[in-house]
Amino acid sequence: MRTISDPSQFWIYLAEQPLFFLVLTVLAYLAGDRISQATNRHPVANPVLIAVVIVGSVLLLTGTPHARYFEGARFVHVLLGPATVALALPIIRHRALIRRQWRAIVGAMVIGAGVGVISAAGLAKALGLSAGTVASIAPKSVTAAIAMGISEQLGGTPPLTAVLVIATGILGGILITPLMNLIRVRDYAARGFAAGLAAHGIGTARALQVNEKAGAHAALAMGLNGLVTALLAPLLLLLL
Amino acid sequence: MLEGFAALIVLQLAGEVIAGLTRLPIPGPVIGLGLLAAYALWRGGIPEPIEQAGEALLKHLSLLFVPAGVGLIAFGDRLLAEGTRLIAVLFVSTALTMIVTALVFRALAKPEDE
């Protein structure tokens, strides 16, 4: 370890430590979570959005490249894998209810998946976006790894798809509560299912934060929509 | 707790292997989710250590999306290039998808759960 003789070298020293970016990520999230709690989980005070703004501002102000940031942040990112597996927990806990509502689940799944893809591709086309962008935005509602695969299959740009997927998740996490209040859907099963289907893991995180029954249905919708959209992708090729 | 965490990453790895061997377009962790659900249905419940480790991870699921979310800033110029139109598509399509999904779910749901 190098010694720090000059205070101006302090930043350079810190920025070399992957641990610094891990600490920044966790502290920014804690700040976001506190703000979210203080506003009674207000949808706009989304903890992911707040943390991204804080971390993003630090990176922009200090001119830190994303790859350097990710050296530290990947320790958090890696946990997404086992956390996704753990989404089986709320699903299993609510299995009796899910089994009873299988018709609603299958119907909402098929129609919702179709609307998600066709509305995104159709609007993008109508607004005159390039064919590559239309293909990149079509799978925006499914979890990032699946969406990137579909995007590639359709002739899109997978890294652009990853960005659009994350933006969809944050947007969905913010929109779900006010939209459901607006259309007066009060059943947490329906609310959660819509959140997970349209806004994958980030929508599921929001649903889990609000209500466990909503979280269970969101997790189920996220997993199923990944499957359904991946299977529908070849058909989409004909539409685009 | 550690046993539970080990089980979760073993299931993820099993999912990755299955995805690789079968060339399914489904990511390993989502297959792992299915494997854990199938196991729990077979056994009639989830073993306590997995429950504990899983709950710990899910309690702060939002935290795990922060590094990916920061990618928005890194690739922000791509977003800005086709800018407002992309945001408009995401906004309208996401809102529409959620509304239609929730309404269809409600229309088909058994009434006692409303």
pTM score of the predicted model:
0.88
A138 touches chain B (CB under 8 A): no
Distance CA B36, CA A93 (A): 12
From B37, B87, B100, residue closest to A91, measured CB to CB: B37
Residues 6+ apart with CB under 8 A from A75: A22
B74 contact residues in A (CB cutoff 8 A): 59, 66, 69
Distances (CA, A) of A207 to A79, A176, A194, B3: 19, 9, 10, 27
ipTM: 0.91
Distance from CA of A213 to the nearest CA of B (A): 11
Any idea where the domains of chain B sit in the sequence? 1-59, 73-114
CB contact under 8 A, B90 and A164: yes
Any idea where the domains of chain A sit in the sequence? 9-78, 87-239
- Mean pLDDT within A67-72: 92
Average pLDDT per block of 10 residues along chain B, 114 residues long: 94 94 85 94 93 94 91 72 87 98 95 58
Which letter does DSSP use for residue A44 in this model? T
Distance CA A190, CA A174 (A): 17
Per the CB < 8 A criterion, the answer to whether A47 and B25 are in contact is: no
From A108, A120, A149, residue closest to B104, measured CB to CB: A108
Give the model's confidence band at A194: pLDDT under 50 very low, under 70 low, under 90 confident, else very high.
Answer: very high
B97 touches chain A (CB under 8 A): yes
Distance from CA of B21 to the nearest CA of A (A): 16
**Alpha helix segments (H runs only) across A127-211:** 131-137, 144-153, 158-182, 188-210
